[in-house]
Amino acid sequence: MKKIGITGQNGFVGSYLFNRISLLKDEFTLVPFSRSYFESADQLTEWVKQCDVIVHLAALNRHPDQQVIHDTNLELVQLLVNALSKAGNNPHVLFSSSTQEERDNLYGKSKKGGRELLVKWAEEHHAKFTGLVIPNVFGPFGKPFYNSVVATFCHQLCNGQTPKIDQDGHLKLIHVDELSSLIIREIRSNSGNGDLLVKPTAELYVSEILSRLTNFKEQYLEQGIIPALPDSLSVHLFNTFRSYIDHKTFFPVKLKQHADNRGVFVEMVKLEVGGQVSFSTTHAGITRGNHFHTRKIERFLVIKGKALIQLRKYNTEEVLNFELDGNEPSYVDMPVWYTHNIKNTGEEELYTVFWINEFFNQEDPDTYFETV
């Protein structure tokens, strides 16, 4: 069982990769990393000694002074090289560089310089090294105004702000889950074949990204419509957009009831995408669920009885509680990487309608059991 350490494990890519690897308990063991290790040569060396694989993601991406970015990133690599030389166990090191190496800026120079330092260490110690040259990464929970323009636009649109485009550049993109899968494959291969140019999985102009995200706001936030999602990029962008919604205030969404002498008519789900619709009955006091998805889009809609829906982001502690009542039909949509459940809190049978955007596939269920 390989022991894997990730510098920058609390950052955008680092936390996502950490969570992905944590699901592979039969194959890998994670060696937790603390930013404070860079302040202690002994602690950093001891951490290195425990690792069979090190993924070096820690870096400074934004700062008013570009020289600070350059110097900080090179310093972090040098500290790691010093610890590797002292530890003597020669783990397989994977380094996240950037396609900005090709540009004449200090960030790109810091990435190229850091990669060259690790290449030299690997050659001198006959160790395995993989230099990942990565395009723009986007995905859920990225830091706006820091990690990507996608994160910035999503944050602004979900908070009533108007995004502006300074320069309509052409971006090469990869989703953070796709990047994590690639890193895990490289760890498994144990090849350490030097530099690996990570191919983008999508290429869009900034204006195209904003147009798609604005459409999500208009359809999903304002009209309650699940938009058309014809490909994996659309699903990734939509799940990224949804991660910036303030779930505490947005859910549960109550549906309009059309009542007359015949009874009540309620529109439950408006779809421009396919998937599967199911329903369940749940006895009083019983809880369903306690699992999460990494890509699926799912809606829980209570039409009869009383329910408590709970959500908790994986590897965090805060639990979000939503009370729903069939007398006012309402729904909660499940964010990716949030474990969720539903409990019948009333005395009568609970009727719940479920919609999910893809059929259940036993070979690739994307369902991970975790108690809320």
Q: Which two tokens stand for residue 353?
A: 């309608």
Instruction: Round the average pLDDT of the chain to a whole number and report it.
Output: 95
Residue 201 in this model has a pLDDT that exceeds 80: yes
Which pLDDT score is estimated for 19?
A: 97
- What is the band of 193 on the pLDDT scale with cuts at 50, 70, 90? confident
Are residues 198 and 305 both part of a single domain? no
Residue 297 in this model has a pLDDT that exceeds 90: yes
Stronger pLDDT, 213 or 60, i.e. the higher one:
213
Which pLDDT score is estimated for 192?
A: 82
- What is the band of 68 on the pLDDT scale with cuts at 50, 70, 90? very high
Instruction: Assess if residue 152 is contained within a domain.
Output: no
What is the Cα–Cα distance from 123 to 85, expressed in whole angstroms? 12
Summarize the confidence of residues 308-331 as an average pLDDT: 97
Summarize the confidence of residues 205-230 as an average pLDDT: 97
- Spell 178-212 as b/e; 16+ CB within 10 A means b: bbbebbbebbeeeebeeebebebbbebebeebbeb
Are residues 254 and 128 both part of a single domain? no
What is the Cα–Cα distance from 275 to 208, expressed in whole angstroms? 26
Instruction: Assess if residue 164 is contained within a domain.
Output: no
Q: Which of 174, 173, 163 is nearest to 210 (CA)?
A: 163
3-class secondary structure, 192: coil
Choose the final residue of a domain: 204, 230, 255.
Answer: 204
Are residues 185 and 332 both part of a single domain? no
Are residues 190 and 269 both part of a single domain? no
The DSSP-derived string for 155-172 is: HHHHTT-----S---EEE
pLDDT tens-digit map of 147-186: 999 999 999 999 999 999 999 999 999 999 999 999 999 9
pLDDT tens-digit map of 236-276: 999 999 999 999 999 999 999 999 899 999 999 999 999 99
Instruction: Assess if residue 316 is contained within a domain.
Output: yes
What is the Cα–Cα distance from 332 to 330, expressed in whole angstroms? 7
Instruction: Assess if residue 48 is contained within a domain.
Output: yes
Are residues 61 and 180 both part of a single domain? yes
Instruction: Assess if residue 131 is contained within a domain.
Output: yes
Strand partners, 54: 5, 93
Are residues 174 and 291 both part of a single domain? no
Are residues 180 and 279 both part of a single domain? no
What is residue 255's DSSP assignment? P
Contact 173, 136 (CB under 8 A): yes
Which pLDDT score is estimated for 102?
A: 78
Q: Which of 80-94, 101-115, 313-327 has the lowest mean pLDDT?
A: 101-115
Summarize the confidence of residues 116-134 as an average pLDDT: 94
Are residues 257 and 192 both part of a single domain? no
Which pLDDT score is estimated for 309?
A: 98
Task: Using DSSP bridges, classify how beta strands 136-138 and 170-175 pair: parallel, antiparallel or unpaired.
Answer: parallel
Q: What is the pTM of this model?
A: 0.93
Summarize the confidence of residues 274-290 as an average pLDDT: 96
Q: What is the CATH number of the domain that holds 55?
A: 3.40.50.720
Structural domain boundaries enclosing 41 = 2-140+170-204
Are residues 116 and 34 both part of a single domain? yes
pLDDT tens-digit map of 28-62: 999 999 999 999 999 999 999 999 999 999 999 88
Choose the final residue of a domain: 204, 221, 254.
Answer: 204
Are residues 133 and 271 both part of a single domain? no
Which pLDDT score is estimated for 61?
A: 87
Could you give the number of structural domains in the chain? 2
Q: Which of 186-190, 200-204, 287-291, 299-303 has the lowest mean pLDDT?
A: 186-190
Instruction: Assess if residue 363 is contained within a domain.
Output: yes
Residue 139 in this model has a pLDDT that exceeds 90: yes
Instruction: Assess if residue 320 is contained within a domain.
Output: yes
Are residues 51 and 179 both part of a single domain? yes
Are residues 286 and 357 both part of a single domain? yes
Instruction: Assess if residue 147 is contained within a domain.
Output: no
Q: What is the CATH number of the domain that holds 352?
A: 2.60.120.10
